[in-house]
Structure 1
Amino acid sequence: MTLTQDQRSLLTAIAQPWIDTSEWPLWANVQHQFDMRGQDADAIFHSLPRVGNEVSFASGYGYAAPMRAPIDPGHMVRLTVAGVSKLPRMRIAVGEPFMHTLRHMIDLYTRRPILVDEVPKTILRSGELTAALPKLDPWFVKVLPDLLSYEPAINTGGGAHLSDGSWEREVTRSVMQFRGMHTVEEYIEKTCEIVTKNAAQTAPFTIEEEQPMPTEPERAPYVDLALLDDLQKAAANTHWKVHKLIALCQGLNDAYKAGNPYVCAAMIRAVMDHIPPVFGHKDFKVVANQHTFMTQRTDKIHALKLVDFKDISDDGMHRQIGSSVPVLTMDNIPQPIRLNAMLQELLTILRKEAAIAP
């Protein structure tokens, strides 16, 4: 699809910081560039072509990751593989290496062993990827996990960023949809076909149509994915190691998406027990009561609500089986904003520590 010059300029403004620093830009910085030209970046962003639905991630696709209007100035804005394919420099740096990697992922999944008593996991590891495809630029290998996270037709399952800078991602059956494809155009066309089909399945019905059984909408990640990226980057310049925190949050996101309240409760409790040392305390209850938050009243309320949740999580994890056991449901799980606020406060501390590090 042909883009206007303004749309192409917007894609370039988003891509340039990413290729220069490995970090996607904050929307406020992109807005400022267009403000200086007397243009409305928000209007241009929302004019970018898109197929499928605007809301559901798995049933919509465009040149950039979806952002609800009005776009939060503090949020990172990202391009998709479709977006980078429209920029010649990015096509070489990302589009073609992405297709090489996708074919490697398909090969990994195809060659997985067949076991009698379990379903084996296929894991893509950064070190093994570099060995298998030695021509890949280290920059591309570094940014690949984030890129995969925003391609709606590919589900890379669980994953982790390790303390040595390497990473791993689970390769799922979703990659088999792209067997036999060699060009970025083929990949984009197939992705659009998949999300369009998903969108049709979730499209509103008319009164003449048979009404489908209602289904629960897919939950967004419990812990914001961009926040996890920011935590990892900030901690790299401090003495704190956050690989366990990242893994716990990824496990929490998986459990939240699956609707498993017991695992969600355990993961939230684990995060609360894990992070107090960064705040200078040994217990989260002390953090909630004594820490001076950046947004004192609101974030303190979030912290105290999480302290109250510890009783519920303890009950869910430690109450033994009996003839009558209370059931923990997803309605009992704290709203995501509460834990995200605590992690945002932790990010602020890490960034301050990184700024004064010698």
Structure 2
Amino acid sequence: MSTLSPDVLTAERRAEISNFLTVIAGPWLATGEWPLWGNVQHHFDRYNVDVDDLLQLLPRVGEGPGAPFAAGYGYTTAMRSPIGEEDVVRLTVAASLVLPEMRMVVGDPFVRVLNHMIKLHADKPVSPSEVTRAKLRSRELADAMPYLKPCFIQVLSGLLAYEPAISTNRMVTFNDSSWELDITRSVLKFRGVTTVEEYVDKTCEIVEANVIQFLPSNVLHVKARNSDVAVLTHADAPDQAQSVAERGPYIDLVLLDELEEAGQKSTWKHHKLLALCRELNDNYTTGNPYACAALIRAVLDHIPPVFGHKDFKQVTAQHTFAVKRTDKAHAQRLAAFKDIADDVMHRPISANVPVIGMNDLPEPARLNAVLQELLSILR
């Protein structure tokens, strides 16, 4: 039983969380649009409830000192502080454990689709000369699983994008709102999962295992923040002391290879872009936040001409992304990172200079999504 199981909550706490999640789920269940944080705040302001504190007290797993932003998992997707009124707040599949209406509309159908994805991956054709990829397509999904509601199929790609233990590649949305994405080996970890409870338990297990690599060398595990914090140190578990892995790459290595391949057939010269990305990966794995911030800014300054614009601000405002809402949100967050990058490169020395850390960098998924869009254009 994971920390996110409602069974570990008191009746009063469960009711409080259920009420909070219901306010978030309402607009999405009615229209398919997640609410803005300012609207959620306004709802609870009327009842004199500090919803910001309530959000921070929601149970989460896989978070600890040194862990990157959005590494954990909870009933909502991670939101970077300070949260703005125009920030979108989303629920995860885990919220289905608390909200019966979410379970019926999202949780149970999601688990059925996950098993379908596992079968598609297992049945994909194999070529001796290239790596083949199974694809999940909304049109085919409607035929293969006719009991799924069209509204669920429409939003499924967005749900998958925010489930941390499932990685998907090359998500594309077409003009008729249909979509397709590549299925990766990550789904194989969920073999045998048949219920929402099993899915959430497995996701928590994967998230907690992954986050260990980001924790300080003398801290191996931190439990969910809503419970008593238990820290396992090397002294407590000497056999695990050497299990802390290196930080992974910032830019997906498969994506880098695909950019290099596409660049060889394009009139755009891609050599500087690849060099910037590889240097970014090197500095990210070794934990150099100032170099990473500068390199992220350099990438964003370098790529706008491929999108047909002069700067990244124009790309964010005017480009129509394949996954319109999700990738546009990624681009907007990257554009907002300009202030931190400017701080890194232009703030002069003084008696009081704020320190930039690895947690101040944008989540890797954001730049990977923008580069995936660039790859589609190059092709």
TM-score range relative to shorter protein: 0.5 to 0.7
Query: CA shift at 1:156, angstroms?
Result: 1.0
- SS of the aligned residue for 1:107 comes to helix
1:279–1:131 CA distance, 2 compared to 1 (3 A)? closer
Selected match of 1:28 from 29, 35, 38 = 38
Measure, in 2, the Cα distance between the counterparts of 1:274 and 1:173: 38
CA offsets, 1:12-37, max 9 Å, x none?
Answer: 01101001010100000000000000
Q: Can you give the 5+ residue segments of structure 2 that lack an aligned partner in the other structure?
A: 1-5, 219-233, 236-240, 253-272, 282-294, 319-334, 343-360, 367-379
- Matched with 2:26 is 16
What is the RMSD computed on CA atoms of the aligned residues?
A: 3.6
Say if 1:27 and 1:75, in contact at 8 Å, map to a contact too: yes
- Matched with 1:165 is 177
TM-score by length of 1: 0.62
The share of aligned pairs that are identical, in percent, is 42
- Tell me how many residue pairs correspond in the alignment: 255
Query: CA shift at 1:7, angstroms?
Result: 1.6
1:257–1:88 CA distance, 2 compared to 1 (3 A)? farther
1:68–1:257 CA distance, 2 compared to 1 (3 A)? farther
- Matched with 1:97 is 109
Measure, in 1, the Cα distance between the counterparts of 2:32 and 2:60: 25
Query: CA shift at 1:68, angstroms?
Result: 2.3
Is 1:109 matched with 2:109?
A: no
* Within-5 A mapping of 1:172-183: 172-183=184-195
- Matched with 2:158 is 146
Query: CA shift at 1:70, angstroms?
Result: 2.4
Query: CA shift at 1:113, angstroms?
Result: 1.1
Measure, in 2, the Cα distance between the counterparts of 1:186 and 1:258: 40
Letter in structure 2 aligned against 1:136: L
1:13–1:175 CA distance, 2 compared to 1 (3 A)? same
1:188–1:258 CA distance, 2 compared to 1 (3 A)? farther
Measure, in 2, the Cα distance between the counterparts of 1:66 and 1:257: 27
CA offsets, 1:247-282, max 9 Å, x none?
Answer: xxxxx9xx96995889977753222449989999xx
Say if 2:213 and 2:245, in contact at 8 Å, map to a contact too: no
CA offsets, 1:332-358, max 9 Å, x none?
Answer: xxx98xxx9xxxxxxxxxxxxxxxxxx
Measure, in 1, the Cα distance between the counterparts of 2:112 and 2:279: 31
Letter in structure 2 aligned against 1:269: P
- SS of the aligned residue for 2:194 comes to coil
1:200–1:17 CA distance, 2 compared to 1 (3 A)? same
Measure, in 1, the Cα distance between the counterparts of 2:183 and 2:194: 19
Is 1:215 matched with 2:250?
A: no
Measure, in 2, the Cα distance between the counterparts of 1:198 and 1:108: 25
- SS of the aligned residue for 2:169 comes to coil
Say if 1:205 and 1:211, in contact at 8 Å, map to a contact too: no
TM-score by length of 2: 0.59
